[in-house]
Every structure is written in C-alpha cells, then in structure tokens.
Amino acid sequence: MQEGNIMLARLHFVMSVANLFTPFLTEFQSESPLIHLLFEELAQVLKLLLQRFVKLDALKDKSAAQLLSVELDNRPVDDCEFGAQTMGILRQIRSLDWRYCIRI
C-alpha cells in the first residue's frame, strides 16, 4: 500500500474497467436464457475495452470477429501520448525513490 500513486492508479483503472462490465453482468444474471445475445454483448465489451487503449481509427469499420486481429504493439512510455494529468502523475512516479517502497 505504500506505492502511493501507483496503487491509486491501479484502483482507478480496475474501477473504470469494472464499470464497463456492469451492464453485461447485470443483463446476463437474469433467469431467462440469453445465449443468443452472448456473442454480440461480448463483442461490445471488447470494443469498449479496446477503445481505452487503441486509437479509434484502428477500430473503425471493424466487425466483431475482426476486433481480435487488431494490431497491438508495446511501446515505451516515452513514445506514448498522454494527457496533461497523466503526464503529471508519470513525472511524480519517476521522481520517487523506489528503494524505500515495499512491494506486495
């Protein structure tokens, strides 16, 4: 818990992703059979998740099956574009003295 902003950022990420799954889980907890809707609903959840990490141009006009073939590549943090608030948090994280942080 002494990781400070990193732990807070992780919790915010989990909360925001959990909000994407809430409508899906609520709908599929009913007693009626909904297997015929499963593919379309899971494709929608996947598209919402991808929209958080991939530019919209890469997802434009993609069918549900084509979402699985979207090219993803790992980039160093310095090569990524972030908003001002995220950049501020990244600067704070870089300035921390990690020798004294307890890892869980």
For residue 102 the two structure tokens come to 């307890």
Q: With a threshold of 0.95, does the pTM exceed it?
A: no
Percent of the chain with pLDDT over 90: 1
Quick one: pLDDT at residue 101?
46
- Which residue type, as a one-letter code, is found at position 89? I
Going through 17-92 in order, the beta strands assigned E by DSSP cover none
Looking at the predicted structure, is the pLDDT value of residue 99 above 70?
no
| pLDDT tens digits, one per residue of 36-48 | 989 999 988 988 8
Confidence of residue 104 (pLDDT cuts 50, 70, 90): very low
Domain extents for the chain?
A: 5-100
